[in-house]
């Protein structure tokens, strides 16, 4: 009987790739069939995120549900950032869990399942040059890690405590992985790291890499079969002119840039230790729009960071209106253990925080309502990569807009011109022309 694996992946694209790596490692020993039903699984993996408090709290009630309904012999493993953060405590709060594997220890998954109990959450463990097996959830798109960990010490962020110090993956490994993936049909290469445009600063041997991020992008674009390159997340601080020029001028680099603002107030940015000011961010975003007129800019914003005044919040709103981000991910500040911001006492009350989040999101919805109708009758190049449940095929434009079309499944894996017939806020509907 083929064993069945249920895997739940929370959090960011890094976690998505870690899940793929774990599946690949498990399959080395014996093939696992993926299932969406935890009740029939022989192995249940929860790949967790710890960036905000809510999902962490949900984890334990979820484990409770799995314990209740799982097959008797099934093992449960907690992996990822919350595993790194809570470690042993997970066994104390949920004794039925068989293993706890940190975000930097995913290569040890086979060892973990071979034991009755297993714990490894070492954040100094270096997997940057580990040769993982091959597994991709989507054959058209290849996620590739280019660095692990993060050296920034943003005051709100737990990630340096769950993913450890920043180490770049040697460029030879990245290039050969990109080549392999592209030759086997992935036209899109998606580079991943906590801070991708700081690439090359330090390899695991302590030396500087041969290429910086801009040079790495150029090298990858030379692979014939690679048609599109994306990356996440860049840090605004490292968006120097060289980077913006390579981004704007290389046709294979998708015109979608994530610029995590966090706050528009220079004073708050300073306490957040982001390393840039309001004016600097605005100047970079405006330069990017000038150099790359069809770019779509997305951002992350935290409202109600400790000490955020009405004036500080107004600065964030001002940047929103100036940059007119095509997409925002916005959050109420959540105090995280181990971070410096968690020591701050000048908390913004929850009612104010919720009100600010609503103002911000409403404003952004209004901006989108102004932008979206302009896409009608426009023609975008779309890379079709997914079959939807309603029978439509879906893909992305270079700007990372989702486009759905009633077209043949045979177009999956193809890049086609699509004329937009019905633009909506989150999905543009169209027809291949
Ligand atoms: N509270 C709220 N949002 C946070 N993020 C990171 N840490 C916190 C926190 N403590 C957000 C940031 C980051 C995104 C991945 O999550 O905006 O860019
Ligand atoms: Fe969540 Fe950050 Fe870990 Fe990704 S790196 S899973 S966003 S805590």
Q: Report domain extents, the chain.
A: 3-120, 138-254, 256-374, 376-432
- Reply yes or no on domain 138-254 having CATH 3.30.750.210: yes
What is the per-residue pLDDT across 81-96, written as a single tens digit (0 to 9) for each?
A: 999 999 999 999 999 9
What is the per-residue pLDDT across 232-248, written as a single tens digit (0 to 9) for each?
A: 999 999 999 999 999 99
3 state DSSP class of 281: helix
**Strand runs (DSSP E) across 55-208, as ranges?**
75-80, 99-102, 118-120, 141-145, 147-148, 167-168, 188-192
For residues 101 and 112, give the distance between their C-alpha atoms in angstroms, rounded to a whole number. 8
Ligand 1 atom with least separation from CA of 332: 2
Give the pLDDT band (50/70/90) at residue 29.
confident
- Average pLDDT on 136-157 reads 96
In DSSP terms, 225 is beta-bridged to: none
What is the per-residue pLDDT across 333-383, written as a single tens digit (0 to 9) for each?
A: 999 999 999 999 999 999 999 999 999 999 999 999 999 999 999 999 999
Note the ligand closest to the C-alpha atom of 13.
2
Residue 34 tokens, joined: 């993926």
| Res 1 pLDDT > 90 | no
For residues 377 and 367, give the distance between their C-alpha atoms in angstroms, rounded to a whole number. 20
| Res 165 pLDDT > 90 | yes
Q: How far is the CA of 271 from the centre of ligand 2 (A)?
A: 21
Q: How far is the CA of 378 from the centre of ligand 1 (A)?
A: 34
Note the ligand closest to the C-alpha atom of 157.
1
Instruction: Identify the CATH number of the domain defined by range 376-432.
Output: 2.40.50.140
Ligand 2 atom with least separation from CA of 50: 8
Give the pLDDT band (50/70/90) at residue 55.
confident
pLDDT at 353: 98
Same CATH fold, 376-432 and 138-254? Answer: no
- Contact 14 CB / ligand 2 (< 6 Å): yes
Mutate-to-test residue for ligand 2 from 49, 53, 147, 158, highest number of ligand atoms within 8 A of CB: 49
Q: How far is the CA of 150 from the centre of ligand 2 (A)?
A: 11
- Average pLDDT on 44-60 reads 93
Architecture of domain 256-374 in this structure: 2-Layer Sandwich (3.30)
Q: Are 139 and 199 in contact (CB under 8 A)?
A: no
Q: Is the dihedral of CA 73, 74, 79, 83 positive or negative?
A: negative
| Res 57 pLDDT > 90 | no
* Exposure b/e, 149-164, CB count within 10 A at least 16 = b: bbebebbbbbbbbbbb
Q: Domain 3-120 is classified in which CATH homologous superfamily? A: Methylthiotransferase, N-terminal domain (3.40.50.12160)
| Res 180 pLDDT > 90 | yes
Give ∠ CA 222-226-228 in degrees, rounded to 5: 105
For residues 288 and 252, give the distance between their C-alpha atoms in angstroms, rounded to a whole number. 17
Q: How far is the CA of 157 from the centre of ligand 2 (A)?
A: 9
For residues 15 and 164, give the distance between their C-alpha atoms in angstroms, rounded to a whole number. 15
Q: How far is the CA of 160 from the centre of ligand 2 (A)?
A: 10
């Amino acid at each position: 009987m083929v064993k069945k694996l249920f895997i739940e992946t929370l959090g960011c694209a890094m976690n998505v790739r870690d899940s793929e790596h774990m599946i690949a490692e498990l399959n080395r020993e014996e093939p696992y069939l993926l299932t969406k039903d935890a009740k029939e699984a022989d192995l249940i993996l929860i790949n967790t995120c710890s960036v905000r408090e809510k999902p962490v709290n949900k984890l334990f009630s979820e484990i409770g549900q799995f314990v209740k309904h799982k097959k008797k012999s099934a093992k449960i493993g907690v992996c990822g950032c919350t595993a790194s953060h809570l470690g042993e405590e997970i066994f104390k709060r949920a004794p039925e869990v068989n293993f706890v594997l940190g975000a930097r220890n995913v290569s040890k998954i086979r060892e973990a399942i071979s034991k009755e109990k297993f714990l490894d959450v070492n954040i100094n463990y270096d997997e940057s040059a580990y040769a993982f097996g091959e597994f991709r959830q989507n054959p058209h798109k290849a996620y590739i890690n280019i660095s692990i960990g993060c050296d920034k010490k943003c005051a709100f962020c737990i990630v340096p405590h769950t993913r450890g110090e920043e180490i770049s993956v040697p460029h030879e490994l990245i290039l050969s992985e990109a080549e392999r993936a592209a030759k086997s049909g992935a036209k899109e290469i998606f580079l991943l790291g906590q801070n991708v445009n700081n690439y090359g600063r330090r390899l695991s041997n302590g030396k500087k890499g041969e290429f910086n991020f801009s040079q790495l992008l150029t090298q990858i674009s030379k692979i014939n079969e690679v048609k599109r390159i994306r990356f996440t997340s860049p840090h605004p601080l490292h968006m120097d002119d060289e980077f913006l020029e390579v981004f704007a001028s290389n046709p294979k680099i998708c015109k979608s840039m994530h610029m995590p603002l966090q706050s528009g107030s220079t004073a708050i940015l300073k306490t957040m230790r982001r390393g840039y000011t309001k004016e600097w961010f605005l100047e970079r975003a405006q330069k990017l729009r000038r150099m790359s007129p069809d770019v779509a800019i997305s951002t992350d914003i935290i409202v109600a960071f400790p000490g955020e005044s009405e004036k500080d919040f107004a600065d964030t709103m001002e940047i929103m209106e100036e940059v007119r981000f095509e997409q925002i991910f916005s959050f109420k500040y959540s105090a995280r253990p181990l971070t410096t911001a968690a020591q701050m006492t000048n908390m913004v009350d929850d009612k104010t925080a919720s009100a600010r989040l609503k103002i911000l999101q409403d404003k952004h919805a209004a901006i989108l309502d102004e932008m979206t109708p302009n896409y009608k009758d426009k023609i975008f190049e779309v890379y079709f990569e997914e079959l939807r449940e309603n029978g439509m095929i879906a893909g992305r434009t270079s700007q990372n807009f989702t486009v759905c079309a009633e077209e043949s499944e045979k177009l999956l894996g193809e890049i086609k011109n699509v004329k937009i017939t019905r633009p909506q806020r989150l999905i543009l509907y169209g027809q291949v022309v």
